Amino acid sequence: MKDEEVRIVSLIPSATEILAILGLTDAIVGRSHECDYPAEIHNRPICTQARLNTNASSGEINQQLNKFIQSALSIYQVKTDVLEELQPTHILTQDQCDVCAVSFGEVEKAVATLTKSSPKIISLQPNLLQDVWADIEKIANIFGVDSLQVLENLEARVQIIARRTKGLRETEKLPTVACIEWIEPLMAAANWIPELVTQAGGQPLFTMTGQPSPNLSWETLVASNPDVVIFMPCGFDLQRTRQETELITHLPEWKNLHATQTGRVYITDGNAYFNRPGPRLADSIEILAEILHPEIFAYGYKQKAWEIL
């Protein structure tokens, strides 16, 4: 398929990053309000908007989300006038989480109103790391580009870490790791995150690989007394994450946690890395490896993608 025949609108950041790593950036004619990487796509028209205040605290955002859910309203809105003008041939979206991005159903409704084009909707629904690699291959096949080298490079980066931590798994007690995806209410990170933690040489707590992120009570977190706590809130960068963690680090039991006493509590840029099921999950494993085993791994992400709290 020739690039000049293709006009892609990507409505989810991970899909935008997949398109970019496959060399299809020039074919992207529109993006979601959350698509911010790579920098070359910043000048593309924005085709969605959030109906909630994303600058609010995690607790306030959760309250807004519950109101939308109870009212059966979509959290995100598709700008059909922009889509009409762009006349895309393809729209990439997701059908995994209605909170993370515009839903498949909303995209279908928007496309049904278009008169100038009838774009093909491509929906992604990854739950595991292998699903993400499969999505890269799927998108490459749809647009007629080669994904072999891209996938080999990404998988090689993961395997380097897995091989180097294999010896640790056989000879040492690996640190127990609590990955926190949301602050108020407290939620543990799931889907592909436990898999990444395991590959990076840790024991993930609370979650099952490939399952939705569960709510986590404060009492459960305290009782588990993890060796390592890593905050990776969905949609928050380092600065926002540092602000939000103050909600629980001031609680009296916090100072008694093993992770707190040993200085093994970390904040990360969850928005750019862990919560985007795209190519930068390879970076995410490297970040985890650097955090969990600094005596072995030093990729240079510290102070850029993660910090000690």
CATH code of the domain containing 182: 3.40.50.1980
Is residue 141 a part of any domain in this protein? no
| Cβ-contact 103, 110 below 8 angstroms | no
Maximum C-alpha span of the chain: 63
**pLDDT above 70 (res 4):** no
- Residue 100: the pLDDT is 59
Residue 58 placed within a domain? yes
pLDDT at residue 2 is higher than 50: no
Same domain assignment for residues 302 and 200: yes
Domain range for residue 178? Answer: 149-308
Kind plus residue range of the DSSP H or E element containing 43:
none
Same-domain pairing of 222 and 104: no
Domain assignment present for 140: no
Residues 162 and 304 in one domain: yes
Range scoring the smallest mean pLDDT among 22-36, 60-74, 253-267: 60-74
pLDDT, mean over the chain? 90
Q: Is the pLDDT of residue 104 over 90?
A: no
More confident residue, 191 or 65: 191
- Say if residue 280 is in the same domain as residue 153: yes
Q: Is the per-residue pLDDT at 55 higher than 50?
A: yes
Question: What local confidence, expressed as pLDDT, does residue 270 receive?
Answer: 95
pTM (2 d.p.): 0.91
Do residues 38 and 17 lie in contact, with contact meaning Cβ atoms separated by under 8 Å? yes
How many Cβ atoms sit within 10 Å of the Cβ of residue 58?
Answer: 23
User: Looking at the structure, do residues 303 and 176 belong to the same domain, yes or no?
Assistant: yes
Pick 104 or 136 by higher pLDDT.
136
176 and 290 inside one domain: yes
How many angstroms separate the first and last alpha carbons of the chain? 48
pLDDT tens-place string over residues 125-148: 899 999 999 999 999 999 999 999
Please give the tally of structural domains in the chain. 2
In this structure, which long-range contacts are made by residues 293-300, counting pairs with CB atoms below 8 Å and at least 24 apart in sequence?
A: 293/165, 293/168, 293/200, 293/201, 296/164, 296/165, 297/161, 297/164
Examine residue 7 and state whether it is found in any structural domain, yes or no.
yes
200 plus 52 within the same structural domain: no
